[in-house]
């Protein structure tokens, strides 16, 4: 279907080495202006580059704050080519009429596999043994080295990743307990515990799989670490903000914890050429990884296809299905109609004002779908009109007070 605004004029800005599968997907769909950067950009450059971008794709590192988004004058949609969307000011984007999409499942298995591998490595004391061998040392000993069988794995955040970690851990013979703020269906023999404290007190290995929210900010501090069993281990592949990293360093240094595996940090380098700084550097019993929990070729390839497809669908036909900050609207394509979009502040009487326009112009509405949330309304309208009429209608829609965006799609 030919779009009113030519696809080749739509600028797609992709940062942080988003997978080539995304670029291919855009190009195949006719979006020829795709700019790909290997890293996240410094704030000033980001503001400059985002100024004329219609679509922006990022991963977990790029911060799309209200201030940055205010520079994006032509932005129609944002894609987070990852799970977390905490790096985007979702409310600010919504108020600008910009839907944000992500890939909620594609890298979950990759994280779960890494966590299981780390649990085994930590229980065997491999990080410190490996480090010593590299320095010419030799510690052939069973001290502090355990099988996973019958050990208790405590999962904090029993969602898409947490549940998969639980299933894999049970296949190794671990006993799985979990804590979540929602009531969750237990898979296998996993058991919910009554509180985070109970989980910390009972688990041999604690693994964190919560999103970054105000409630998970520094969820694991000195007091929580002190509640963990002496000799227990902590794995964090969620967000760096969830753990007080200095308190973790102290608990490890003092020997209360036997080891840790950390993939995410309060401050992470912008790209592979930048230095990594952490109080955990130099601790042999800590596995440090550069936020690669979801970085497998399979996951990145699938994420590239998934998020690019969502962005293309929105740009081509207005579907906001699975947007994380926006009313979800999807309407089948009606090839013989013109499609208009109207995004507005959710105030009383908006739909009747939109519809008055069409009846005043004697324009027939072939199909219409409105969805609202507390702040924003989004309506897709298919009408019988020619291209010139559609352009006039778009301008008239834009003039309705409270309008955030109006577009003609085709």
Ligand X SMILES: NC(=O)C1=CN([C@@H]2O[C@H](COP(=O)(O)OP(=O)(O)OC[C@H]3O[C@@H](n4cnc5c(N)ncnc54)[C@H](O)[C@@H]3O)[C@@H](O)[C@H]2O)C=CC1
Active-site residues: which are they?
A: 239, 268, 291
Question: What is the contact surface with ligand X in residues (CB under 6 A)?
Answer: 83-84, 107-108, 111, 156-162, 179-182, 209-213, 215-216, 237-239, 263-264, 291, 293-294
* Residue 148 touches which member of ligand X, ligand HPV, none, C-beta under 5-8 Å by kind: none
Residue 266 binds to ligand HPV (criterion: CB under 6 A)? no
Residue nearer to ligand HPV on the CB measure, 289 or 330: 289
Window of 31-39, 126-134, 288-296, 304-312 that interacts with ligand HPV by CB under 6 A: 288-296
> Minimum CB separation from ligand HPV for residue 26, in Å?
18
Residue sitting closest to ligand X (CB): 159
Residue nearer to ligand HPV on the CB measure, 193 or 210: 210
* Residue 182 touches which member of ligand HPV, ligand X, none, C-beta under 5-8 Å by kind: ligand X
Q: Which residues in 37-96 contact ligand HPV (CB under 6 A)?
A: 59-61, 82-84
> Minimum CB separation from ligand HPV for residue 159, in Å?
12
- How many residues in the shown chain lie near ligand HPV by CB under 6 A? 10
Residue nearer to ligand X on the CB measure, 95 or 160: 160
> Minimum CB separation from ligand X for residue 335, in Å?
37
> Minimum CB separation from ligand HPV for residue 333, in Å?
31
> Minimum CB separation from ligand HPV for residue 81, in Å?
6
Pairing mode of beta strands 152-156, 175-179: parallel
* Residue 59 touches which member of ligand HPV, ligand X, none, C-beta under 5-8 Å by kind: ligand HPV
Residue 337 binds to ligand HPV (criterion: CB under 6 A)? no
Task: Find the binder of ligand HPV among 57, 159, 162, 294 (CB under 6 A).
Answer: 294
Residue nearer to ligand HPV on the CB measure, 127 or 294: 294
* Distance separating the N- and C-terminal Cα atoms of the chain: 8
* Residue 160 touches which member of ligand X, ligand HPV, none, C-beta under 5-8 Å by kind: ligand X
> Minimum CB separation from ligand HPV for residue 295, in Å?
5
* Residue 213 touches which member of ligand HPV, ligand X, none, C-beta under 5-8 Å by kind: ligand X
Cα–Cα distances in Å, from 329 out to 88, 141, 275, 322? 21, 61, 43, 9
Residue nearer to ligand X on the CB measure, 144 or 211: 211
> Minimum CB separation from ligand X for residue 69, in Å?
21
Which pairs with CB-CB distance under 8 Å and at least 24 residues apart come from 267-270?
267/240, 268/61, 268/240, 270/39, 270/40, 270/41, 270/42, 270/61
Contact call for residues 172 and 191 (beta carbons, < 8 A): no
Q: For binding to ligand HPV (CB under 6 A), which residues are involved?
A: 59-61, 82-84, 107, 291, 294-295
């Amino acid at each position: 279907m030919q779009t009113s605004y030519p696809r080749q004029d739509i600028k797609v800005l992709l940062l942080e080495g988003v997978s080539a599968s995304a670029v291919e997907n855009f190009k195949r769909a006719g979006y020829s202006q795709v700019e790909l950067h290997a890293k996240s950009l410094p704030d000033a450059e980001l503001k400059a580059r985002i100024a004329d971008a219609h679509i922006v794709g990022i991963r977990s590192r790029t911060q799309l704050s209200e201030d940055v988004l205010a520079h994006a004058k032509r932005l129609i949609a944002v894609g987070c080519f990852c799970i977390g969307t905490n790096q985007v000011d979702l409310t600010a984007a919504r108020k600008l009429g910009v839907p944000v999409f992500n890939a909620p499942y594609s890298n979950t298995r990759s994280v779960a596999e890494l966590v299981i591998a780390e649990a085994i490595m930590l229980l065997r004391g491999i990080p410190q043994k490996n480090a010593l061998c590299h320095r010419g040392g030799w510690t052939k000993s069973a001290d502090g080295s355990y099988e996973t069988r019958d050990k208790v794995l405590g999962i904090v955040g029993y969602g898409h990743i947490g549940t998969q970690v639980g299933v894999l851990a049970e296949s190794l013979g671990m006993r799985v307990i979990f804590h979540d703020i929602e009531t969750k269906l237990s898979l296998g023999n996993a058991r919910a515990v009554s509180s985070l404290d109970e989980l910390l007190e009972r688990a041999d290995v604690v693994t964190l799989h919560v999103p970054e929210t105000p409630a998970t900010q520094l969820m694991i501090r000195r007091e929580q670490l002190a509640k963990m069993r002496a000799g227990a281990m902590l794995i964090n592949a969620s967000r760096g903000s969830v753990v007080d990293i200095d308190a973790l360093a102290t608990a490890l240094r003092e020997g209360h914890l036997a080891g840790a595996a950390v993939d995410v940090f309060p401050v992470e380098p912008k790209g592979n050429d930048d230095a990594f700084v952490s109080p955990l550097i130099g601790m042999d019993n800590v596995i440090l990884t550069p936020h690669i929990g979801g970085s497998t070729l399979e996951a990145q390839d699938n994420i590239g296809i998934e998020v690019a497809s969502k962005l293309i669908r929105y740009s081509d036909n207005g579907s906001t299905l699975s947007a994380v900050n926006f009313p979800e609207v999807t309407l089948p394509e009606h090839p013989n109609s013109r499609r208009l979009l109207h995004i507005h502040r959710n105030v009383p009487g908006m739909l009747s004002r939109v519809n008055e326009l069409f009846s005043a112009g004697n324009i027939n509405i072939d199909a219409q779908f409105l969805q609202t949330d507390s702040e924003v309304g989004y309506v897709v309208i298919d009408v019988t009109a020619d291209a010139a009429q559609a352009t006039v209608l778009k301008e008239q829609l834009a003039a309705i007070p409270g309008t955030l965006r109006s577009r003609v799609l085709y």
